[in-house]
Amino acid sequence: MYDLLTGPGLWLSIGIFLVGLTVRGVLYVKGLNWQLDRVAYRAHPKAGIRGAFRSIFFWLIPFGTRSWQTQPFMTVLFFVFHIGVICIPLFLYAHNLILAEKLGFSFVSMNQTVADVMSWGVIVSAVFLTLRRLVLPEVRILSTAYDYLILFLSAAPFVTGLLCRYEIGNYEFFIILHILFGEILLISIPFTKLSHILLFFLSRGQLGMDFGIKRGGMKGKGLAW
Ligand code: HEM
Ligand code: HEM
């Protein structure tokens, strides 16, 4: 089972992740329509691209936008969660060992204490993100089983990864479960809301273009609409 998951399973899951996400990105851009979206993408590319980068940049900074400032607790949860879910898969020493051995390349590895802190940060923030959906009426009304499934898929590799890290329970069982959850997560990214890993940048960029061109950016410069 271990050989299957770290051999063909690893290739397949990384392959589906990369190809699937590329297809989602291409379909998104092909689906843009300046008339339906009412965004003058091609007519004013300079103002548009400036607006796109501006919007993405400020959304990636904690408290960088008004929406981040109005919900400070959510902002902290969100950033602690995302720093971990992005950095741990890529920069954990144990992961890079496997990448180097199986795929012949690896990223830089982070210090183990930093990795532990980040992993616990993900667990704690995932608990609060789940509670937030259960408790706050304005979020609860929008939440379905699908939202909880996405949170579960994201947190499962962290729970099982930490069980292995601290050698709690049967290591052989939990490491297989860990790799299985990790690969299920990778495969589900292109097919679910987790595709926001890429689509966040595209939709944010698209909105930023709208603001950069039409809604403010070129106001008073003779723009027809
Ligand atoms: C897909 C293939 C994956 C493989 C082969 C793999 C393998 C491993 C291995 C060998 C360990 C070390 C366990 C130990 O300390 O004995 C580990 C730890 C861990 N992995 Fe993975 N993993 C995978 C995917 C993921 C993903 C996608 C995530 C998160 C999204 C993840 C999160 C973690 C965490 C949080 C730990 C423990 C971190 C710590 O040491 O503090 N893994 N993984
Ligand atoms: C560059 C990478 C990423 C970006 C820019 C990004 C951005 C975002 C944004 C903007 C939201 C919406 C926050 C809100 O409700 O206001 C979100 C939610 C979420 N993201 Fe990401 N994300 C990224 C990577 C990831 C990864 C790798 C995972 C998991 C493995 C993940 C899991 C989630 C989950 C579970 C939620 C929903 C949290 C909730 O239930 O409220 N994200 N992300």
Q: What tens digit of pLDDT does each residue of 9-59 get?
A: 999 999 999 999 999 999 999 999 988 988 888 888 999 999 999 999 999
The dihedral over CA atoms of 19, 25, 29, 30, expressed in degrees to the nearest 10, equals 30
pLDDT band at 216 (very low <50, low <70, confident <90, very high): confident
Question: What are the structural domain ranges in the chain?
Answer: 2-213
Mutation choice for ligand 1 from 6, 81, 91, 95, CB with most ligand atoms inside 8 A:
95
Where does the pLDDT of residue 225 fall: very low under 50, low under 70, confident under 90, or very high at 90 and above? low
Hey, which CATH number is domain 2-213, 1.10.357, 1.20.950, 1.20.120, 1.10.10? 1.20.950
* Alpha-carbon span 14 to 20, nearest angstrom: 10
With a pLDDT cut of 70, the percent of the chain lying above it is: 99
In angstroms, rounded to a whole number, what is the distance separating the alpha carbons of residues 66 and 161?
Answer: 35
Q: Measuring from atom 33 of ligand 2, which residue has the nearest CA?
A: 194
pLDDT at position 133 over 90: yes
Ligand nearest, relative to CA of residue 80: 2
**Among all ligands shown, which has an atom nearest to the Cα of 179?**
1
pTM: 0.94
Distance CA 179, CA 20 (A): 20
* Per-position b or e across 96-106, b if 16+ CB within 10 A of its CB: beebeeeeeeb
- With a CB cutoff of 8 Å and minimum separation 6, the contacts of 8 are none
> Cβ neighbours of residue 222 under 8 Å, at least 6 residues apart?
none
Distance 113 CA to ligand 1 centre (A): 14
Residues above pLDDT 90, as percent of the chain? 87
Pocket lining for ligand 2, CB < 6 angstroms = 78, 82, 85-86, 129, 133, 147, 150-151, 154, 185, 194, 196-197, 200
Give ligand 1 pocket residues (Cβ under 6 A).
6, 10, 85, 88-89, 92, 94-95, 98, 115-116, 119, 157-158, 161-162, 164-165, 178-179, 182-183, 185-186
Counting from 1 in the atom list of ligand 1, the atom nearest the Cα of 98 is: 5
Q: Residues 154-194: pLDDT tens digits?
A: 999 999 999 999 999 999 999 999 999 999 999 999 999 99
pLDDT at 219: 72
State how far the Cα of 119 lies from the Cα of 197, in Å rounded to an integer: 19
What integer pLDDT is reported at residue 217 of this predicted model?
A: 75
Q: Are 131 and 90 in contact (CB under 8 A)?
A: no
The per-residue pLDDT for range 76-112, each reduced to its tens digit, is 999 999 999 999 999 999 999 999 999 899 999 999 9
- Rounded average pLDDT over 190-219: 92
Residue 44: predicted pLDDT: 87
